[in-house]
Amino acid sequence: MFELKWLWQNLEGNRARYITALVLSVVGSSLMIINPYIGQRIVDTFITGENAVQNLTQERGLLIMLCMGMIGFSLLRTGLAYLTTMQYEQASQNMLYKVRIYLYNKIQGQDMEYYDHNRTGDLMTKMTGDLDMVRHSMAWIIKTIIESVTIFLAAVVYFFTIDAVLTLWLLVLAPPIFIVAYIFAKKVRPMYIDLRERLSQLNTTTQENISGNRVVKAFAREEYEIEKFTDKNIHFSQANKKAALVWLDYFPYLETFAQAFNVILMLAGGYFVMQGRITFGEFSAFSALIWAISNPMRNIGIIINDIQRFFASLSKIVEIYYAKPNIVNEHKATEKRRYEGRIDFDHVSFKYDGGEVLHDISFSVKPGETIAIMGSTGSGKTSLVNLIPRFYDVSGGQVLVDGVDVRKLELDELRGNIGIATQDVLLFSDTIDGNIAYGDPELPEEQTVEYARLAAAHDFITKMPEGYDTIVGERGVGLSGGQKQRIALSRALAVRRPILILDDTTSAVDLETEEHIQKSLRELDFPCTKLIIAQRVSTTAEADRILILDGGRLIEEGTHAELLAIRGYYYEVFMLQNEGIGRKVSAHGQK
């Protein structure tokens, strides 16, 4: 099967070890029949045989040897079992380690669309629970299967050498057991797939709750969230019970069949002993080994359960493994060019799954120009700028940077030429210094301070308990929205890229601070094309040009003065922001 092939590929480097483990399993289990054989010899020679009493005195040496042999083989088997388990563990742990790194890289390398479609909780489940299930299966379940099968076969072969008829009598039980097990396996498989899905939902709910706990608290929705969680929890637990209960439906049959082995052995075996067909020692060998036949049959259900879980998990992992992002960043180590910073949109349209959000957009930005983008919420501003670093690809037309379609540029180089402060600010759990220098860890400290100054962040940073060494982000001190935005802005400036994209980066700062930032942006000491998404006329007024988006269309384009003159959307916004509320507003541009 495809998934197993995948496993085999990933065992590379550990294959020899794994095969050794499998071989040791087979050898170790085969040795299980030696002690019953020795037992048989002892019984026949020294206990029930015709010359038993005589042998006991004359052949004492043989008896001692046989007894020592029994002990020796037991010790040998224990040693082997230890070695075997070690090999399984090491091979599977090594594989797990390799696969985990690979999967992590794989997830990192996915494009934005992937993250739009995959829940964090689900990805976490794959990286932890599923991976561990696969490892556990490699180490334990496969071991159990191999050992059960080997013991079973070894016992059957041994039994045949003693008495074929008796063995056949015992084996009549095998077909019904297999049929019951097969029906059970078919029934339980979808349940484990379902169970796996519910676990991932449970994890997703937990993860959302933890990361979204501020919202939960703000709306005092703890009870609702607890209910939601309880609901998922109940579902998960019910699915678990259901799967376990199915097993109970089949268990009595399997157990009865397993017990029947003993009954048949007693009746048929006893009869054969009385008839003298087999010796008492041979009968005792059957007795001592009957578990080797009945146990695998008894455990077949548990093994099937585990195999189903194994495949449910394995297929989820293989899914990540083979997920191909549409937009691939190859991180080629070529010499990276510095762009001039020219940007052209040529009849660009763009759609998400939900439908087209940008329609036929064309405009050009010359190197060094500052362009402001304005438009009501949901008009497509973020979607538009996301096309430049290729977070998404256009669905029609083309986006060109320095005259080349971005799809033809080397992605690492393209992104390496863009500094971006996204609309949702994310800071890492790191020092402020580390966050600002995220794009360039070599950044000297004076420069960190310099960019923080430009972003009007220096003052509040120095007031923090440990200044630039204060830890922020998830586990760190709290920052205001405007403070976070300014650190994000410093981070975007610090990489000194020829293209700078600011998505609503000053929306949460006061007008005075914004004034300061405007001034810094005008006076950057490196050549830079700026695209600034903003809602305030005070931000846009000084741009070289202003683009107005409405419902995914470019409806106005021009300088502040030009746009005021045409008395369209921009004019309305300008009037609103300058004269305050209470003015009569026309329907145009108001949503």
CB of 553 to ligand DCP, least distance (A): 12
CA dist list (Å): 418 to 20, 385, 392, 547 = 52, 11, 15, 20
DSSP 471-526: EESTTS----HHHHHHHHHHHHHHT--SEEEEESTTTTS-HHHHHHHHHHHHT-SS
Closer of 66 and 112 to ligand DCP (Cβ): 112
Closer of 424 and 442 to Mg ion (Cβ): 424
CB of 351 to ligand DCP, least distance (A): 8
- In terms of Cβ atoms closer than 10 Å to its own Cβ (0-12, 13-18, 19+), residue 13 is exposed
Partner from ligand DCP, Mg ion, none contacting 441, C-beta within 5 to 8 A by type: none
Of 316, 262, 256, nearest to 291 (Cα)?
262
Of 383, 374, 380, 384, nearest to 568 (Cα)?
374
Closer of 355 and 478 to ligand DCP (Cβ): 355
Pairing mode of beta strands 553-558, 370-375: unpaired
CA dist list (Å): 465 to 433, 456, 475, 477 = 14, 18, 15, 10
CB of 532 to ligand DCP, least distance (A): 13
Closer of 507 and 559 to Mg ion (Cβ): 507
CB of 191 to Mg ion, least distance (A): 43
Distance CA 388, CA 405 (A): 10
The two tokens of residue 440 are 């360039």
Closer of 77 and 553 to ligand DCP (Cβ): 553
Partner from ligand DCP, Mg ion, none contacting 484, C-beta within 5 to 8 A by type: none
What is the Cα gyration radius of the chain?
Answer: 36
CB of 428 to Mg ion, least distance (A): 22
Closer of 92 and 383 to ligand DCP (Cβ): 383
CB of 558 to ligand DCP, least distance (A): 19
CB of 555 to ligand DCP, least distance (A): 13
Closer of 461 and 547 to ligand DCP (Cβ): 547
- From residue 335 to residue 374, the character string flagging contacts with Mg ion as x (rule: CB under 5 A) and all else as - is ----------------------------------------
Closer of 35 and 383 to ligand DCP (Cβ): 383
Closer of 20 and 507 to Mg ion (Cβ): 507
**How many residues sit in the footprint of Mg ion (CB under 5 A)?**
2
CB of 531 to Mg ion, least distance (A): 12
When CB distances to Mg ion are compared, the closest residue is: 382
Partner from ligand DCP, Mg ion, none contacting 352, C-beta within 5 to 8 A by type: ligand DCP
CB of 175 to ligand DCP, least distance (A): 56
413 touches 389 (CB < 8 A): no
Quickly count: other Cβ atoms within 10 Å of residue 365's Cβ: 22
Partner from ligand DCP, Mg ion, none contacting 379, C-beta within 5 to 8 A by type: ligand DCP
Closer of 387 and 418 to ligand DCP (Cβ): 387
- From residue 369 to residue 408, the character string flagging contacts with Mg ion as x (rule: CB under 5 A) and all else as - is -------------x--------------------------
Binding to Mg ion by residue 535, rule CB under 5 A? no
Distance CA 414, CA 388 (A): 9
Partner from ligand DCP, Mg ion, none contacting 294, C-beta within 5 to 8 A by type: none
CB of 379 to ligand DCP, least distance (A): 4
Binding region for ligand DCP (CB under 6 A): 116, 352, 354, 357, 375, 377-383, 423
Closer of 182 and 352 to ligand DCP (Cβ): 352
Q: Does an H or E element contain 16, and which? A: helix 15-30
- In terms of Cβ atoms closer than 10 Å to its own Cβ (0-12, 13-18, 19+), residue 439 is middle
Residues 6+ apart with CB under 8 A from 265: 166, 170, 286, 287, 290
Q: How many residues does the structure list for the chain?
A: 591
DSSP 294-316: HHHHHHHHHHHHHHHHHHHHHHH
CB of 498 to ligand DCP, least distance (A): 23
Closer of 170 and 385 to ligand DCP (Cβ): 385
Partner from Mg ion, ligand DCP, none contacting 378, C-beta within 5 to 8 A by type: ligand DCP
Distance CA 341, CA 366 (A): 7
Distance CA 383, CA 389 (A): 11
Considering only the C-alpha atoms of the chain, give the largest distance between any 2 of them, rounded to a whole number of Å.
Answer: 125
Closer of 117 and 347 to ligand DCP (Cβ): 117
Quickly tell me which residue has 């932890």 as its tokens. Answer: 128
Closer of 204 and 382 to Mg ion (Cβ): 382
CB of 494 to ligand DCP, least distance (A): 24
CB of 581 to ligand DCP, least distance (A): 20
Residues 6+ apart with CB under 8 A from 345: 361, 362, 363, 364, 384, 387, 397, 399, 400
In the chain, what is the straight-line distance between the N-terminal and C-terminal CA atoms, in Å?
56
CB of 385 to Mg ion, least distance (A): 8
Q: Treating both helix axes as pointing N-terminal to C-terminal, what angle do 481-494 and 511-522 enclose, rounded to 10 degrees?
A: 0
- From residue 402 to residue 441, the character string flagging contacts with Mg ion as x (rule: CB under 5 A) and all else as - is ---------------------x------------------
Task: Specify which residues 554 forms β-bridges with.
Answer: 549
Distance CA 92, CA 22 (A): 12
Give me the residues that bind Mg ion (CB under 5 A), please.
382, 423
